[in-house]
Copies of this chain bind each other. A is one copy, B any other.
Amino acid sequence: MIGTDLNPALTPVAFLLGTWRGEGEGQFPTIRPFRYREEIRFTHNGKAFLIYTQRTEAIDSGQPMHGEAGYLRLVGDGRVEFVIAQPIGFAEISLGRVDGMRIDVECASVGRTPTAKPVTSISRSLWLDDETLRYELKMGMEGAPLAQHLRASFHRSD
């Protein structure tokens, strides 16, 4: 895709393009806190969406932990639609806005496979803080309201 011009609709989120590496920490009322190493990539193919992939691994062993893949659609007036597949059996539709160097989205729907954990809602914030990319993710499950789950920070690696 090198050489493909950026779709003008993507200008507000061009700050995300590239590969980002960093570390994060996870928590939830039902689990023991944990840390992870993470890589996030945002690429494009000339259309009005960013292509998003992410993977995390254990800091000590390098063992794969989580991964996600999806698309961040820019649909006008700062509105964004984030469509994400998760290998733990979720298909997430999140909606929100880009405002300056910050994106906030909340789940409009979470599709779940029969064997997936009962996640009911996710909210995500992603922002550029000087040259550091940061995100926070809150999660709610059946019987457990939306609560802080993940927080990570990144530096651009290409």
**Interface membership of A14, Cβ < 8 A:** no
Q: Which residues of B contact A114 (CB under 8 A)?
A: 75, 81, 95, 108
Q: Is the interface of A mostly helix, strand, loop or mixed?
A: strand
Asked if A67 contacts B51 (CB within 8 A), the reply is yes
Instruction: Judge whether A95 and B70 touch: CB under 8 Å.
Output: no
Q: Chain A contact residues (Cβ within 8 angstroms of B): what range?
A: 35 or more
Beyond known contacts A45-B55, A73-B115, A95-B113: 10 more, CB 8 A cutoff: A1-B64, A51-B87, A75-B113, A83-B86, A83-B89, A84-B91, A91-B109, A93-B111, A93-B113, A109-B111
Residue A47 contacts which of B87, B91, B95, B108 (CB distance < 8 angstroms)? B87
Which residue from B49, B73, B109, B113 sits with its C-beta under 8 Å from A83? B113
Q: How would residues 10 to 50 of chain A score, 1 for a CB under 8 Å from any chain B CB and 0 otherwise?
A: 00000000000000000000000000000000000111010
**B91 lies within 8 A of A87 (CB):** no
Quick one: which of A63, A73, A85, A112 has the most chain B CB within 10 A? A85
Q: Shortest Cβ distance from A80 into chain B, in angstroms?
A: 10
A91 and B68 CA atoms in complex are apart in Å by 13
Residues in A lying within 8 Å of B, measured CB to CB: 1, 4, 45-47, 49, 51, 53, 55, 63-64, 67, 69-71, 73, 75, 81, 83-87, 89-93, 95, 108-115
Q: Contact: B91 with A111, CB < 8 Å?
A: yes
